[in-house]
Structure 1
Amino acid sequence: MVKTILKIILAIAVVYVSVEMFRYFSYWGLALNILILLVALVIVLWEIILSFLLQHKAKIITLARAIIERIKSNKKWQAFNHKIKIKWPRLYQFFINRIRADRPTGWYLTLGIIISAVFFFLFLGIIQDIWFKDPLYFADRRIISLLHATTSEKLDYFFVFFTNLANWQTIVVGLTLAAAYLFITKNKKAAQYLIATTAGGFLLSYIAKIIFHRPRPIAANLIASPTSYSLPSGHALISVCFYGFIAYLLFKKLKNKFSKISILILFLLLALLIGLSRTYLGVHYPSDVLAGWYLGFAILALGVTFAEIKNKFSAKKPAPLPEKKLLLSAFTVLFLIFSIVSFGKIKIIQPANAFAETTLTDFSKTASLYSEDLFGQKMEPISFIVIGEKQQIINLFTAAGWSRAEEPNLKNFLKLSSAIAKNINYPTAPMTPSFYQSKINDLGFEKSTELNTARQRHHTRYWETNYKINNTEVWVATASFDQGVELGPIIQLPVHKINPNIDAEREFIMTDLEKTGLIGSFQKIGLVGEIKGTNAAGDSFTTDGQAYLIYL
């Protein structure tokens, strides 16, 4: 009992810490580390939950029966029960039959439908978020941008491998092999339910895409974008249906508790990585993946329910699954096929930035004039519009004595945390990412103050836009001064606090840049007027809404 209580306390602590760290990592844009955190959270929580359920299965059933008997013996319940029985006898009998354990259409079917309905309503919740443009809708493209900030060739092929595991060709091969083994070992019913569950996933995925008609993410894909619609993710849905039913069959076959838990956790991790691969590769929005998972689990719940009912109430019990060695051999072959197809068929591509020629007047009317947080809420307005090439901007700040900020990965984040704790300088420290038109900042520059500490710095973020003026790229930038470190008003962890007067930082930067002699011309222009606002950390700022237009 003490161990159980300790595990529950541990689970609560893990959830609390994970939520806080998820918010903190999201704020810092540590996308890959968010994934690692998510995977670790899944492993820990499911290990605790499954261990508890398997270890105390008999006690839980006994407790549930005791609670039901206690309710049935209550006089108020008995009076209510009698009233319903007399007033609506057919309805009463219908519900009684739904909770009977001695018939196929009783408790087993009811529980399966309830579980399926829960996941289906979660799926509908995603549809509602997209339809009414709730925060998830606005975070979709920005999450893809965050993930792309940590792309590498190894990660690209890592996620290509997992995305290939749910390609329809791979699933068909896997389904054929799995069904063949089940038929050979006289487990015909299991094969039929596996085929039905997987086919149901394919069918509902196709129908849902036609109904919701959502376009794929634009210019974000690292592989060739499929021609079908985006919502829901077919890969996420099918991975749950096919691999989930395989995991169910193995769970029923295995006797060891640890093996049972391991199979379920491996299935969840596989489904998780397949879904995440679709967002990382830029062919699905995160909400598409969530919708695919939810709809997949709704289908899987029904498939498992009907399989369990058939096993329990069938007069002829099905033959056992193949021995472990045979099953392992089959899936080893399947894995090799997946590997060959994964690296031989799918090619990595680099998203191209499409530019549109414009004028300054049209740019100020059509382009966004604000930076954004993860959910698309406006933050600081633009302080600089720079007409020039990327290397020119880098050379400009280098000449002005500024340093280019390093990428906000976990290694650099820990290095910055150490520098802040020791109160020492880190002149190329990473910055918290910010967004402009759903895109993460392309460049960041900073300059240390006379205090020579990572706790205080001048800094600016730059984005390449999709516009050109006189065939030259248009860049936009914000500016702010980190005056110290404190617990954030939104994120209750140490973050830099900005000086509310962001105009002073704009002028400081312009003075430094002008001294380099690398600016062709510049002028101050009005953009948004006087405003007040807050940044992603909850810090307030005020500005006159003006910006410098710079030609390099």
Structure 2
Amino acid sequence: MEQFFVTVLLSIEHFHMLGGVAFLAALLAILAAWIMLWLVQYYLLRYGNRLWRATVSLGHVLKSKFICNPYVHRWMRRHPGSIRFLAERADYTHFFGLPLTLLFLSLAVTLVLLVEVAEDVATSDSIVVVDHIAARLISTFRAPELIPVAIWITNWCAPPIIGILLVVACLLLWLVNRRFAAIGLITSLLGASLFSVLNKLIFQRLRPDGAVLFEPSYSFPSSHATLSVAFYGFLGYLLIRSVQKWDTRIKLCFAMMGFIFLIGLSRIVLGVHYLSDVWAGYLVGLLWLILGISVNEWLAATGRIDWNLPLDRRRRILACSLMLVAVIGVAGYLFAQALVFRSLQ
């Protein structure tokens, strides 16, 4: 896979020598990716419920056919303990069944991917070649007009901003009578932050040359990418968990995914991270996001969090007002910072 990306990036470099074809190709690739994501969202919104019901129905049919098989039936009689364990893991009626199984599998897959990326970086595998070629291309195509925009986006994961929004999020959870949900949020954020710092100290990878911003820390993994998934991903989870409509959940999910993608992209555009740094940061953030969600779902299963708890009108208005003030205030402050940076260029 890495060899494929090396070939593609070298081809883009070759086209760049011939003119601006590479830049146009990059724009077309981004547009194609956006169209694909929009189509996925569209079909999920239109057919997602029916697809889910069909999948559940198919699962019941396969389960009944599987159990009725004489060989399976004989094995079930001989190993009742194993069957009981598997049945409990596949039970979707409570958290300790199928939900916990899926969370555990997601955690395992994420951890395997993270270890693979870390090993490739540590052994200077072909992924490092991809990183350096991509960094050269980004520095070539970096337009001055994009830098303030990238700074505005990337600063949403600056530690002071994350700290302010964390306090606001905890206040909001207290206002809507879901204060225990803050435990999962803090677990995800603090765990991801500490894990990211620890990995930076272990790998001590230097940042790319020609970065727009000065960053004193090491490069691998990207802390901004990590925090974007661990923090904003968890906020997205809280919003999704708090609404009932399927289409609203899908839109929130894709909106948060797009925002997280832009934060990672901004780090690459600013030249402060390699591609593998951002990818590893996403995986670290996802690892702790899954752990944070697991904590919250366990709290919900034990009755400490009630996602369906009704809110009175006063609390709802106060919570919405606080959220709007926080988002608009932070966005305005970051916009002013970006303008100051542009004026100093």
- TM-score range for the pair, normalised by the shorter chain length: 0.7 to 0.9
Instruction: Provide the rounded CA distance (Å) in 2 between the counterparts of 1:333 and 1:256.
Output: 25
- Are 1:61 and 2:56 matched, yes or no? yes
Return the offset for 1:114.
0.7
Aligned residues: CA RMSD: 3.2
Q: State the identity %.
A: 24
Instruction: Provide the rounded CA distance (Å) in 2 between the counterparts of 1:40 and 1:136.
Output: 27
Equivalent AA in structure 1 for residue 333 of structure 2: I
Return the offset for 1:35.
3.6
Is the contact between residue 177 and residue 330 of structure 1 (CA under 8 Å) also seen in structure 2? Answer: yes
Q: How many residues are treated as equivalent by the alignment?
A: 325
Structure that is richer in strand per residue: 1
Other-structure match for 2:5: none
- Are 1:76 and 2:66 matched, yes or no? no
Instruction: Provide the rounded CA distance (Å) in 2 between the counterparts of 1:172 and 1:316.
Output: 23
- Are 1:237 and 2:226 matched, yes or no? yes
- Are 1:186 and 2:181 matched, yes or no? no
Q: Which has the higher contact order (CA 8 A, sep 6+)?
A: 2
1:120-519 correspondence to structure 2 within 5 Å: 120-217=111-208, 219-224=209-214, 226-314=215-303, 317=306, 319-320=309-310, 323=316, 326-327=319-320, 329-341=322-334, 343-344=336-337, 347=341
Change in CA separation of 1:228 and 1:93 when aligned onto 2, cut-off 3 Å: farther
- Are 1:29 and 2:18 matched, yes or no? no
Unaligned runs of 5+ residues in structure 2 are: 1-7, 16-20
> Per-residue CA shift, 1:455-505, capped at 9, x if unaligned?
xxxxxxxxxxxxxxxxxxxxxxxxxxxxxxxxxxxxxxxxxxxxxxxxxxx
Other-structure match for 2:37: 42
Return the offset for 1:97.
3.8
Is the contact between residue 223 and residue 348 of structure 1 (CA under 8 Å) also seen in structure 2? Answer: no
SS at match of 1:149: helix
Unaligned runs of 5+ residues in structure 1 are: 1-20, 351-552
Is the contact between residue 123 and residue 295 of structure 1 (CA under 8 Å) also seen in structure 2? Answer: yes
Return the offset for 1:140.
0.5
Instruction: Provide the rounded CA distance (Å) in 1 between the counterparts of 2:268 and 2:58.
Output: 43
> Per-residue CA shift, 1:283-333, capped at 9, x if unaligned?
110001011112212221232233233324427735357647843651443
Structure that is richer in helix per residue: 2
Equivalent AA in structure 2 for residue 221 of structure 1: A
Return the offset for 1:192.
2.1
Return the offset for 1:162.
0.8
Equivalent AA in structure 2 for residue 231 of structure 1: F
Instruction: Provide the rounded CA distance (Å) in 2 between the counterparts of 1:66 and 1:312.
Output: 28
Change in CA separation of 1:44 and 1:132 when aligned onto 2, cut-off 3 Å: farther
Give runs of ≥4 in structure 1 deviating > 4 Å. Answer: 21-28, 82-85, 91-96, 101-104, 345-350
Change in CA separation of 1:341 and 1:96 when aligned onto 2, cut-off 3 Å: same
Other-structure match for 1:404: none
Instruction: Provide the rounded CA distance (Å) in 2 between the counterparts of 1:23 and 1:264.
Output: 34
Instruction: Provide the rounded CA distance (Å) in 2 between the counterparts of 1:208 and 1:310.
Output: 30
> Per-residue CA shift, 1:200-257, capped at 9, x if unaligned?
221221222222222222x220111x22221111111111111111111222223443
